[in-house]
Amino acid sequence: MTQTALSPLLAASTALMRAGRWTTAIDLLQAADPATPTDRLAIAVALAEVTVDQDFSQQTDHAGPALAVLVKALSEIPDPLAEWDLAFLQLRKEYSTALFVNAREAGADLAARAHHLAATAPDESRSGHATFYAGVIADNLQGLANDAFNAYTTALAKGERSNDDLLISLALRHLGDHAHTAGDLPLARTHWERSTELRQKVGHLLGALAQQTLLAVLARDEGNPAAAIALATEVNRWSHQANIPFLQAQTAALLI
């Protein structure tokens, strides 16, 4: 498989992943027949990313074998960029596991690794994503709101400079949450609406649905329960079709 032929396949797997079609993306990647170790490594990175993303989104546990395949591929053809990507994917997987089992004791180690990845990233986009993870770790595992806010602000700046729409949307989602918690509903709406638009732009189904859930919460808090229920109803339907348990639960709570 030549690099020219591989590029569209990798782009397709990313698009499918963002559309919530993880199984289809995995099937596509596993059906590929890489001709070189370099192609095999690229497919291994993509497969690991899809499975890590699926595990977070659907609370499954598929990433272990895919990460092991990536480790093996790197043993055949060492590559600094792919080695960084592996370390970041391992961080993402361990964070999601800690988050869903409420393992706050993992926070300090994960935070240190996130900061190290941010400092050693090969480009500003990757550094920004690692910085963002330092933020969610601080927020959700360590209870360090100020550290989280600073990380999101830095991640946003890195996303803007690298033109990474997904990173910008992630940072804005969580900065909007801080504004919402502080009672600044207009600022929360500004952040959350822009984050929603960016996620729609890059075809990120889960991200767009998660943002619309927050907009439903915001509509309720702004005194518009009818709008909140209408948004939550549609997101609940989508989240059942895409099998995204945490959005099913969040939107069901808004329909009571």
pLDDT in tens, 7-66: 999 999 999 999 999 999 999 999 999 989 999 999 999 999 999 999 999 999 999 999
pLDDT in tens, 113-166: 999 999 999 999 999 999 999 999 999 999 999 999 999 999 999 999 999 999
Confidence of residue 102 (pLDDT cuts 50, 70, 90): confident
Percentage of the chain modeled with pLDDT above 70: 98
The owner of tokens 């990536």 is: 70
Domain range list for the chain? 1-102
> Among candidates 36, 35, 240, which has minimal Cα distance to 232?
240
CA atoms within 13 A on the CB side of 37: 10
pLDDT at 101 over 90: no
CA distance 249 to 100: 14
Residues 6+ away with beta carbon under 8 Å from 106 = 94, 98, 141
